[in-house]
Structure 1
Amino acid sequence: MPDAILLLAPPEEQEESIAPLRVAAPSLPILPIATRDDLRAALQRHPHARLISVCSPVIVPADILERLDGPAYNLHPGPPEFPGLYPAVFALFEGATTFGVTLHEMTPDVDSGPIVATNSVDMPADIDRAGLEALSWHLARHLLRGMAESLVDLSRPLPRVPRRWRGPARRQPDFEALCRLPPDLDAASFRHRLRAVGEGPDHALRVSLFGRWFRLEPDHPDAPVVKGGRRIG
């Protein structure tokens, strides 16, 4: 039976992610980790731990999942309709009217394991990518608080709910394809795509003209980097 929790989350989210678990089980060892190397090292020290991933970009490989005593759980920052990377981006681009987060068992295939809980709301009509990702983090924290007692009960797996994943798991090439604008894009379509993709230090909308690539210059190049409504750079 698991005897500790390994919490895999971005460094800026670890403290808030651990807090509800500590309230539910003050004496339970909970180790925050951020990378795959951290995870392998932590498993050497705690080979019977339960793994919980909270909106982490780290893909846990099959060999680690096989070593665990029971299911590992992932809190995906999107609803079952948008598995994989950048769920907020694709929800906006495809015109979704609701959005949420999904807690599910991990399997070797990304965002495909049995679902144990979801949390969703109507999507505000005027929200953009930055706003939707901030809302996603809010929903994730709310769901984590609601599921904390079940997650720290290491004597049994969490019960599953009758929800199913829908659609393909989006990958990095899918996002990069959205960043490439067709040269005949009209103004309304450009605004729609910019709303979904947003602006960031590591990506930008771009278009190929005359054999050269042109990138969109951000409106505020010196603005701080924000993730999930939290400043990280």
Structure 2
Amino acid sequence: MTDAIILLVPAEEHEAAVEPLRLAAPNLTVVPVTHRSQLDAAVSHYPMARLLAFCTPVIVPADILSRLPGPSYNLHPGPPEYPGLHPAVFALYDNATAFGTTLHEMTPDVDAGRIVATNRVDLPPDMDRLGLEILSRRMAHHLLRSLAEDLVDVATPLPPMEITWARAARRAADFDALCRLPPDVDEAEFRRRLRAVGEGPYHALRVPLFGRWFRLEPEHPDALVVKAGVAVG
């Protein structure tokens, strides 16, 4: 009998992600973990648990999934059109007019399992990356709260929807390619990529010239990142 939920979640999201699950089932054990080593230990201790991943960069390997009764679930901070890394970036690059988050069954392939729930909102035309990342986290928490009672019913799988992923999951190489500007880039393409990629602090648009790479200096040196749905330095 499943006796717990193992919640794989970034450390800054622990409290907000655990709360709706414990409110829905106060007597159910919820085990938050952040790193692969913690996940492995939790699965060994709770071999009949339900695994729920929430907006985590950790890729759960097939051997861990096979040790659990399943299905395990992942809450992806993007809609089915944008599986994989940086869904907000690629949505902005495509000038998407809507965005959302997705709960799906986990498989050894990233963001490829059956979809069980989504939410969606329209995007204003002036949305930038920081704003969309903040919105994405808020929508992910909203979806988690709305599904908490179903998720804590650990003996009952969530029914899949008749929605499929639109493409293969994007990876780090796809984001890196978007950051590499062609030497003959025009202003429209430059601005399109800058809106999508944003400014650091851990990345920058760059262009090859004369055998060297030139990186775009941030207009705002104190660039912000998103943690737990808010912008921080």
TM-score normalised by structure 1 residue count: 0.96
Q: Where does residue 194 of structure 1 map in the other structure?
A: 194
Corresponding residue SS for 1:104: strand
Query: Is 1:130–1:227's contact at 8 Å kept on the other side of the alignment?
Result: no
State the distance in 2 between where 1:44 and 1:195 align: 44
The structure-2 alpha-carbon separation of the partners of 1:228 and 1:42, relative to structure 1 and needing over 3 Å to count, comes to closer
| Structure 2 letter corresponding to 1:220 | H
User: Aligned runs of 1:185-224 on 2, under 5 Å?
Assistant: 185-224=185-224
Asked if 2 retains the 8 angstrom alpha-carbon contact of 1:115 and 1:164, the reply is yes
Inter-partner Cα distance in structure 2 for 1:134 and 1:225: 9
Q: Distance in 2 between matches of 1:51 and 1:201?
A: 32
Contact in 1 for aligned 2:81/2:167 (Cα 8 Å): yes
Shift of residue 131, structure 1, vs aligned partner: 0.7
Q: CA deviation at 1:222?
A: 2.9
Which residue is 1:71 aligned to?
71
Q: Structure 2: which amino acid aligns with 1:86?
A: H
* Cα contact 1:9–1:55 (8 A) shared by 2: yes
In structure 2, the gaps of 5 or more residues are none
Counterpart in the other structure of 2:50: 50
Which residue does the alignment assign to 1:33?
A: 33
Q: Between the two proteins, what is the percent identity of the paired residues? A: 66
- The residue that corresponds to 2:16 in the other structure is 16
Residue identity in the other structure for 2:76 = H
2: CA distance between counterparts of 1:166 and 1:74? 17
Which residue of 1 is the match for residue 61 of structure 2?
Answer: 61
User: What is the distance in 2 between the residues matched to 1:3 and 1:165?
Assistant: 31
RMSD: 1.2
Distance in 2 separating the partners of 1:111 and 1:223: 29
1:60·1:108 contact (CA, 8 Å) conserved in 2?
A: yes
- The TM-score normalised by the length of structure 2 is 0.96
For 1:207 and 1:108, how far apart are their aligned partners in 2? 35
Q: What's 1:145 paired with?
A: 145
Report the 3-state secondary structure (helix = DSSP H, G, I; strand = E; otherwise coil) of the residue aligned with 2:144.
Answer: helix
Q: What number of residue pairs does the alignment pair up?
A: 233
One-letter amino acid of the counterpart of residue 172, structure 2: Q
Partner of 2:178: 178
Corresponding letter in the other structure for 1:115: I
Deviation of 1:232 (Å): 5.0
Structure 1 position 24, deviation (Å): 0.1
After TM superposition, give the deviation of residue 186 of structure 1 in Å. 1.4
SS in 2 for 1:101: strand
Provide Cα deviations, 1:40-89, integer angstroms capped at 9, x if missing partner: 01112111111000110110000000000121000000000111111111
Distance 1:24 1:140, change over 3 A: same
SS of equivalent to 2:7: strand
CA positional deviation for 1:129: 0.9
Q: Distance in 2 between matches of 1:175 and 1:10?
A: 21
In 1: Cα distance, 2:207 partner to 2:228 partner? 27
User: Residue 157 of structure 2 aligns with which residue?
Assistant: 157
Q: Is the 2:83–2:170 contact (alpha carbons within 8 Å) kept by the matching residues of 1?
A: yes
Q: Separation in 2 of the partners of 1:200 and 1:155?
A: 43
Q: Which residue of 1 aligns with 2:230?
A: 230
For the residues of structure 1 that align with 2:228 and 2:76, how far apart are their CA atoms? 13
